[in-house]
Structure 1
Amino acid sequence: MTDSPLLFRLAVALAIGLIIGLERGWKQREEAEGERTAGLRTYTLTALLGGLCAILATHTSPVFLGLAFFGFAIGFSAFSWLEAKAEQNFSVTGVVAGLLTFTLGAYAILGDLTVAVAAGVTVMLILALKKPLHSWLRRITWLEVRSVLILLAMTFLALPLLPNRTVDPWGAINPAEIWLLAILIAAISFAGYVAVRIMGSQAGVALAAAAGGLASSTATTVTLARMAREHPAASPLLAAGILLAGTVMVARVLIVASALNGALLLPLAWPLGAAGLVLLAAAAILFLTNRGDGREHPVLNIRNPFDLGMALKLAALIGAINMLTKWIGDTLGGSGLTALAAISGIADVDAITLSLARQSHEGIAIVTATLAIAVAVAVNTASKAALTFFFGAPKAGWIVSGASAAAVAAGGAAFAFLG
């Protein structure tokens, strides 16, 4: 190790200590001098100490670094204990942060600099996000935590036990594959569900609509449409939220389908991209021109998609759609699949998207799968316009219908151009 790289590594160690110390010192900035165990200078020096001990260990013995860390841990913990005793503060976060700072300072000398810097920034972010993290934990219920734990257990324990082969005469039902697909969709929906739960009624229409579109664009549409009926003057803003949720749904279908079969990415990107851009542009224009309307924030009541019962129902739906897709594809061909996609798209696009993307590996032509998925998205987009008319104000219904029609037309034109 030459002097230049060594000096650079020491500088990185110092920088890691500085960013961690900056966060620690800022939180304790109101305390008088001598009333805090560690602040900006202490954490910076701790990282430098870890780096210097690592250098000495390379010239002596690795045992030296272990003993140095042990000695630092005892001394730092002792001073932190005295501070905690005086202030009746039982948090151990500062001690853990100090030990991590020493360790990262040493790792900056001995290990991968990218990993060291990334870990240092992560530590700083976790420390800085104390209040938001605690606030999020207070919003999440035990039932939601339990649902995740149960489903994780079933995924990592039950999935390996499920037969990874077709078990029906038509070669359509693969239990392991269907369960994995159900987990995939539930996980994506759960991310949106958690976002809605975390943001709650404090979220603006745009943020809630985007998160709700990830969890369930249909439920989001119904919620915003009902708000439009209660607050007709806010119809343009709430219609913008519905269109944004639809945009997220379109992007979600494209990502899921192309993840299961990369050959679908380019064929679907044209029609879905065109439709999504029209929806997004319409939503953006409405948001920008109606920012002062609709002061009431939407509260989206979306069921937990990671509930075991919901996951099992989703798996059953995917299995049923798989069987229908296989049977219709073998007997009626592409026209039958398009009709099935249109029927499925009235209520849900996930199951038909997963089925067509998977079976496009096994005989269904890419162009047929692309058309059927695009039709499902188009029908689902039109159904959201109908839901807005049914549950919401007429003005919101006309806005969503006009934008949806333009999006479907743009997608159809793009598909025709591609063909």
Structure 2
Amino acid sequence: MVEPGADPLGLLVFRVAIAFGIGALIGMEREQSDSGGTFAGSRTFPLFGLLGALVQAFFPAMLPVALVAIAVPLTVAYAGKIWIERDVGLTTLTVAQLTVVLGALTTHSERGAVLAIIVGGVVTVLLSEKGTVHQFADRIAEPERRASVKFILVVLVVLPLMPDRELDALYGLNPRFVWLMVVFVTGLSFAAYVLARTVGARRGIALTGVLGGFVSSTATTVSMAERASETPPLYRVCAFSTIVASIVMFPRALIEIAVVNRALLPYVAVPLGAMTGIGAAVAAVVYRRGATGADIDTEIENPFRLQPALFFGAVFALVLLVSESAHSWLGASGIYATAFLSGLADVDAITLTLSRLAAEGEIPRSVAAIGIVIGAIANTLVKIGLAWLLGTRELARIVLVALGAASVAGLLFVVAA
């Protein structure tokens, strides 16, 4: 963020202007909202932002008092709105108070100003997409909502309680790190799930494969194989979605590596990128040869469920322990064997494990990179096997060619290394 030079007054004016801009942005959205415009709009919200910025700049200790003081007239105005319009929505009232806080953040610090800009933008988008948000909520069944709420509550309650240190009773595992990885992987899947449910029936087979792969490539493969068995003429469509879902696993692994150990990215970007490119090229050929004749949906389950999350946590902890022991006893070959066996069940666990071990200096980065590629190859072979076992022969042949070629590319990297 570019700010004026060293002039304190210029800097303050700049920060106050940011607060005004955030308030104006939110205010314009509320002005256009049927439920918010009559309560507070394009003139009132910039004043909320200015109030927060000026109080924080000159009377920071009075900010809580200012929030309480402004809550009184806001409540009175809101009560009048309910009386006149019979609208009991709390969104505008809540956003009004949030705007004061965002204004205060702008003059609190440079980091606070950047955060205020980001949050202000997110809030504006969230408010403007009211219809989309409600449509998404309506698509989620009641059991899914309850499962999501339970999972989020467990995350919020359990994560702060987890000890952030290695425990001898758990063979040196750090409970908070293990649970944090569970939350990260599940959150990555949930983001794709939200997008899938938001897009809904409008998504085509390409997007179905991509989103299904980010949520669960294995589940997508099983779903497509079963669909091909039920309706054999759709085998090309199902094969395309299966291939796309499977190769999405490689970019997903790159995202996980970037979060846990960014220094490892250069070692895995080429092999995983090659595997993605080759799989995508074959998928494009399948797409051109008739996969566009019909769209097909995938049964994507809500990943915010406690039982699968706990299962992944147990697998991740086990793989972490086994990998450390295997490296101590057998060296690099032990890591590779563990990576292959782990990859048969879940590629996320071995990816996160080896990224963490390489970050801590327990294993060389080159060994971690080879292990991650081996895990990806093993998981890809599982997808091929599922296509043969559950799908039609035509589906299995196409999947074998695409994912087999991707696996060979990864294997060449392993051999060359």
- For the aligned pair, the TM-score class normalised by the smaller chain equals 0.7 to 0.9
Q: Kindly indicate whether residue 181 of structure 2 is the aligned counterpart of residue 184 of structure 1.
A: yes
Partner in structure 2 of residue 367 of structure 1: 366
Work out the CA distance in 1 between the residues paired with 2:324 and 2:73.
68
Matching of residue 402 in structure 1 with residue 401 in structure 2: yes
**Do structure 1's residue 317 and structure 2's residue 315 form an aligned pair?**
yes
Aligned to 2:207: 207
Q: Name the CA distance, whole Å, in 2 between partners of 1:256 and 1:278.
A: 21
What displacement does 1:189 show?
3.1
Change (3 A) 1:375 1:43: same
Paired amino acid for 2:34 = Q
Identity in percent: 27
Superposed displacement of residue 184, structure 1: 0.7
Asked whether 1:145 is paired with 2:144, we answer no
Structure-2 separation of matches of 1:77 and 1:182: 40
**1:349 counterpart (347, 350, 355):** 347
Alpha-carbon distance change, 189 to 393 in structure 1, aligned in 2, over 3 angstroms: farther
What's 2:22 paired with? 16
Q: Distance in 1 between matches of 2:194 and 2:64?
A: 44
Larger Rg: 1
Could you tell me which residue of structure 2 aligns to residue 237 of structure 1? Answer: 237
| Contact kept? 1:46, 1:105, Cα under 8 Å | no
Structure 2 Cα separation of the partners of residues 281 and 130 of structure 1:
39
Contact 2:327 / 2:334 at 8 angstroms: preserved in 1?
yes
Structure-to-structure mapping, 1:115-194, within 5 angstroms: 115-138=115-138, 139=140, 140-160=144-164, 164-167=166-169, 173-176=171-174, 180-181=177-178, 183-185=180-182, 187-193=184-190
One-letter amino acid of the counterpart of residue 164, structure 1: E
Aligned counterparts of 1:126 and 1:211: Cα–Cα separation in 2: 21
- 2:379 is matched with 380
Contact 2:340 2:375 in 1 (8 A): yes
Q: CA deviation at 1:289?
A: 6.1
Counterpart contact for 1:270–1:415, Cα < 8 Å: no
> Structure 2: which amino acid aligns with 1:299?
E
Q: 1:156-305 counterparts in 2 under 5 A?
A: 156-160=160-164, 164-167=166-169, 173-176=171-174, 180-181=177-178, 183-185=180-182, 187-193=184-190, 195-196=192-193, 199-200=196-197, 202=201, 203-257=203-257, 259-284=259-284, 286-287=286-287, 290=290, 292-301=292-301, 304=303
Is 282-291 or 143-152 further displaced after alignment? 282-291
SS of match in other structure, 2:88: coil
Structure-1 separation of matches of 2:263 and 2:59: 55
How far apart in 2 are the matches of 1:295 and 1:364?
45
Q: How many angstroms does 1:219 deviate by?
A: 1.3
Deviation at 1:100, TM superposition (A): 4.4
Structure 1 residue 384, shift from structure 2 partner: 0.7
Per-residue CA deviation, residues 266-323 of structure 1 (Å, 9 max, x unaligned), is 2222212211222234335545665643333222246x4641x444433443444345
Partner of 1:43: 41
SS in 1 for 2:345: coil
- The AA in structure 1 aligned to 2:246 is G
Contact 1:46 1:101 in 2 (8 A): no
Q: Please give the root-mean-square deviation of Cα atoms over the aligned residues, in Å.
A: 4.0
* Shift, 1:404, TM fit: 1.1
Distance across 2 between alignment mates of 1:132 and 1:295 = 22
- How has the CA–CA distance of structure 1 residues 22 and 181 changed in structure 2, closer, same or farther, with 3 Å as cutoff? same
Which residue does the alignment assign to 2:92? Answer: 94
Contact 1:47 1:104 (C-alpha < 8 Å) held by counterparts: no
Distance 1:65 1:389, change over 3 A: closer
